[in-house]
Amino acid sequence: MHVLLPDGKRLELSAGATGADVAAAIGPGLARAALGIRVDGRLRDLQSEVDGGATVAILTSRDAEVIELMRHTLAHVLAQAVREHLVAEGAAPGDVRMGIGPTIEHGFYYDFDLPRSLTPDDLEQIEVRMRAIVAADLPLGRFTLPRVEALERYRTQGDPYKTELIEDLPEGETISFYRQGAEEGVGFTDLCRGPHVPRTGVLPPHFKLTTLAGAYWRGDESRPMLQRIYGVAFTSAEALEEHLWRVDEAKRRDHRKLGAELDIFVLDEDIGPGLPLWLPRGAIMVEEIERLAKEVEARGGYQRVRSPHLSKEQLFLKSGHLPYYEHDMFPAMVLDDVKYYVKPMNCPFHHKIFAARPRSYRDLPLRLAEYGTCYRYEDHGALMGLLRVRSMQMNDAHIYCTPEQFEAEFLKVIGLYLEYFELFGIDSYVMRFSKHAPEGLGKKYVDEGELWRSTEDMVRRALVAGDVSFYEADDEAAFYGPKIDVQIKSAIGREFTLATNQVDFVQPGRFDLHYVDEHGERKTPLCIHRAPLSTHERMVGFLIEHYGGDFPLWLAPEQVRIVPIADRHLPYADEVAEALRAVGLRAEVDGGNDRMNAKVRAAELYKVPYIAVVGDKEHDARTVSFRSRREEARNGIDLEAFTSHLREQVATRASNVTPIA
């Protein structure tokens, strides 16, 4: 048989040749350096047989993909080290039972059912054993067993986890294993599909065990809780060091930590998971973001509406949210023998507002906006601070337009995203064109195949015409139409959807929405759903991490903290606060008993943008001396000039501050 090399050359080989045979046929140097292969684009190991006619690339340490093989093998090295660690202290080998050990972004993990709980000290000792296993340069060998023999192997060992994994495989399946060590009973053997590197000695030293966590077997809360060990691995010390720095930075910026420290929000068990309470400082941020949205939307010709928090079942049956979206809705409540649901979104209510009176083509585009509170039953395990909640206020709007107006309106929404992103300094994002999957028609998506194709073509043409950079993703659409999801990567590397722009070709027809065109004929409008600022909850959570709590002046809950040097300066401190408040600035006086330096430190911990210190000199000259997180400290600044300087920053929502003159 023959295989094709990346340069197009044919290489003749014997039938049943492996990746290692391909490397050896090319040359002895490559055979020594080879760590894996890529076969028709798929990552495989050197022990894998290659098919005749396949395109085969030999991978060495220079190839980025090899880190995936290394991380997978390190998961097996971790499992071997855990077993050796516990057996060395007296546990029987059969008491160390294992779940799964896959690769993940940046590293790997393995789940264990162990006779005792592990501690951080254990992790250090296990990592030392891992390095010894790497240094031993154990060969990895692949072998297979019939399904019956594989089951018998693990049943004999009393291992319910591996037994269950094999039982889930089809009858007659050949089961593959990988052995670390030259012979059975030496080293470590695990159930695995692969791929792996050829021996432990080629693994990089740049790895670290990072975390201990609990994990339910197969993610099912009714199954046993296992102990999960996470690790990271990279091909260079610099990459590992940078990753560990990012992890520390992520902990420092985590919105759940900062949200508590800065008194922005709380979650209370008596209220329920995913139902945040906004504290006064958080409420200020919410109001500032909402004020921004209202200003921008007023310039864009939006009209604001309001809708109730719940509705009869009939509304959601008509919209199609029942049954397609029912699993994400809170259960119905029955009032006067009628089912009511709290709303998971605003769109059906806006459709009813559109239908409340006759519409002409002269009324279009009609842009209806609302910061409506919605409720979604997110799985408990998916909830995460403010980023995934069950109660949310959504920056929602629906644009009703003619087909001729669609492209311009769609691109205006994209422009709105970009305006907001520039204001907040968001530059790490991608536009994802989320499409349907044909196999989901009638189940996950409305069963209108031709409408799906034509609408997706229309969206694609608009994006291309607007020179918008995007990528396409199948099976990510809304049930009623395609959408653009803006995927943001936060300052700590967390990636999520912050904004969305959706096309709805279903609900206008379901609600019998229509307008009269210039020829007097009834036509159904197109509907664009858009939420460029996501929800208040997700946006504030993102901004806490984005800024690390060090907010621009216009967004900061407390803009100025006034610190009197002594008690006799309190009246002037109050006078300064009143002057600042009179022009709309948020100022507080620290009249406590602490010394001045302690008061300044307290304001710094709250990340207050400006700390104004007042004493005898400031009182006599009607000035302030300030220190700032955003510009160089200054002494003896005229109070009126200081006030004007801050007002200008707030009015322009400035991120970069021009120093006070």
pLDDT tens readout for residues 277-304 = 999 999 999 999 999 999 999 999 999 9
pLDDT of residue 183: 65
Neighbours of 614 (CB within 10 A): 26
**Given a cut of 70, is residue 216 above it in pLDDT?**
yes
Neighbours of 91 (CB within 10 A): 15
- Write down the H helix ranges in 425-515: 449-465, 507-510
**DSSP labels for 274-310?**
T--EE-HHHHHHHHHHHHHHHHHHHHTT-EE----SE
Average pLDDT, integer, range 415-433: 90
Percent share of the chain, pLDDT over 90: 76
Nearest to 492 by CA among 419, 387, 418: 387
Q: CA of 645: how far to CAs of 106, 372, 649, in Å?
A: 46, 35, 7
| Interatomic CA distance for residues 129 and 126, integer angstroms | 5
**Given a cut of 90, is residue 235 above it in pLDDT?**
yes
| Interatomic CA distance for residues 387 and 377, integer angstroms | 14
pLDDT tens readout for residues 380-403 = 888 999 999 999 998 899 999 999
pLDDT tens readout for residues 38-69 = 999 999 999 998 988 889 999 999 999 999 99
Position 117 confidence tier, pLDDT thresholds 50, 70, 90: very high
**Given a cut of 70, is residue 417 above it in pLDDT?**
yes
pLDDT of residue 661: 67
Give the amino acid at 294: K
**Given a cut of 70, is residue 458 above it in pLDDT?**
yes
Domain 2-63 CATH assignment equals 3.40.50.10710: no
pLDDT tens readout for residues 151-162 = 999 999 999 999
CATH architecture for residues 300-542? 2-Layer Sandwich (3.30)
Average pLDDT, integer, range 564-569: 96
| Interatomic CA distance for residues 316 and 26, integer angstroms | 64
Say which CATH topology domain 560-652 has.
Rossmann fold (3.40.50)
Classified as helix, coil or strand, 86 is helix
pLDDT of residue 185: 58
pLDDT of residue 184: 61
Domain boundaries, the chain: 2-63, 67-238, 300-542, 560-652
Point out which residues pair with 230 in neighbouring strands: 109, 211
pLDDT tens readout for residues 463-517 = 898 888 889 999 988 888 899 988 888 777 778 788 889 888 888 999 999 999 9
- As a CATH number, domain 67-238 is 3.30.980.10
Round the average pLDDT of the chain to a whole number and report it: 93
| Interatomic CA distance for residues 625 and 603, integer angstroms | 15
Average pLDDT, integer, range 220-240: 96
Asked if residue 391 lies in contact with residue 385, where contact means CB atoms within 8 angstroms, the answer is no
Sorted by sequence, the CB contacts under 8 Å of residue 16 that are 6+ apart come out as 49
Give the amino acid at 29: G
**What global pTM score does this model have?**
0.82
* DSSP run (H or E) holding 639: helix 639-652
**Given a cut of 80, is residue 658 above it in pLDDT?**
no
Quick one: tokens of 354?
């559109």
pLDDT tens readout for residues 20-41 = 999 998 999 999 999 999 999 9
CA 180, 185, 190: angle at the middle one, nearest 5?
Answer: 45
